[in-house]
Structure formats: structure tokens, C-alpha cells
Amino acid sequence: MEKLNAKSLDFIHDVVNRHKDKMGPVKLMLHDIQDELGYIPFEAMEAISDATGEPVAKIYGVVTFYTQFTTMPKGQHVINVCLGTACYVKGSQQILDGLVELTGAKVNSTSADGIFSIDATRCVGACGLAPVVSIDGTVYGNVKSVDDLIETVLSLKKEVA
């Protein structure tokens, strides 16, 4: 496991101290840490446990239950492809496969260059727009094929290069 740098550790401790006396502090802390670091490192779960008295296992359970949290760093751009029933029936698996090929990221992981993470998700509550793909939080509905997203994905790759 990679060690966190001092800046990240200081940020985690600031978040924990800011929220520890609030009602339901664990999710507040997790959201702030996820927003800043892009993931929830184990050191953060330990710091939250120490401040709240909640067992690390319970905090880990919260992190792994909610899909907005992750224990692994993500790429600079995160692509979510819905594989819920409505999206799947309308071809989201083929879109997912095309995005994997286009970005070089495997499903539920990050590309070797660190630019893209691709996650297969379940229902995102936009079944009327199926199939649905989210890129960095922007929802694209009625995606017919990966061709509908090529320009967007390639422009994100050029931004980083």
C-alpha cells in the first residue's frame, strides 16, 4: 500500500477535526476526503475511527456500500456506464466495451496512463434516457454507440496531453 504524503494526511486530520462533533460525522468526513483526494485511503478510515469511536470495519463498510466512495485512486476523468436493466437492454454493454477499447482502461479500473477510469454502474435513475453514460458527472442519455462519445473522450485525452 502506498503511503500518503504529509499534505494529504494533514488534510484528513483537518476534515476529521472539523466534523468530529457534528451529528453523523462519518459520511461528512468521507465526502470531504473523497472530494479532495479522489478516494478514501485506509489511513483516513483509521483517523475517522479514532475521532468518532466507530470501528474501522464499520467505516470500511460504509465506504464499500456506497458507490460514490472508492478505496482506489481514480483517473483524471471518470466514466460511468449504466448496466441497469433499461440501459443494458438498449446496448450499454456494447458502449462499455467500446469505451474500454477507446480509453485503454479495463472495467472498474484506471488506464495505465492515469487519464481514464471506467466503472460499470447499476441504475442511475435515468431509465427514460437509456442507455446512459456519465463522464465526470455530466450525464449523456440516449447514447446509441461509443461513436456518440468519441469526440468527448478524445478531447479529454488531449486536455491532459
> What are the mean pLDDT values of the chain's consecutive 10-residue runs (161 residues total)?
80 90 88 91 96 95 87 91 96 97 94 94 89 93 95 90 67
Query: Within a domain: residue 70?
Result: no
Are 60 and 98 found together in one domain?
no
- pTM score > 0.85 for this model? no
- Asked if residue 44 lies in contact with residue 33, where contact means CB atoms within 8 angstroms, the answer is yes
What are 110's three cell numbers?
484506471
For residue 86, the one-letter residue type is: A
Query: What residues make up the domain containing 141?
Result: 77-160
Q: Are residues 26 and 89 in the same domain?
A: no
Domain count, the chain: 2
State the pLDDT at residue 116.
Answer: 96
Q: Select from 16, 40, 65 the last residue of a domain.
A: 65
Helix (H, G, I), strand (E, B) or coil at 46: helix
In this structure, the answer to whether residues 100 and 137 fall within a common structural domain is yes
Considering 65, 97, 114, which residue would you say is the last residue of a domain?
Answer: 65
58 and 88 part of one domain: no
Helices and strands counted in the chain (H then E) = 7, 5
What pLDDT is recorded for position 20?
86
The CATH number of residue 93's host domain is 3.40.30.10
Same domain, 41 and 102: no
Same domain, 105 and 129: yes
**Same domain, residue pair 85 and 155:** yes
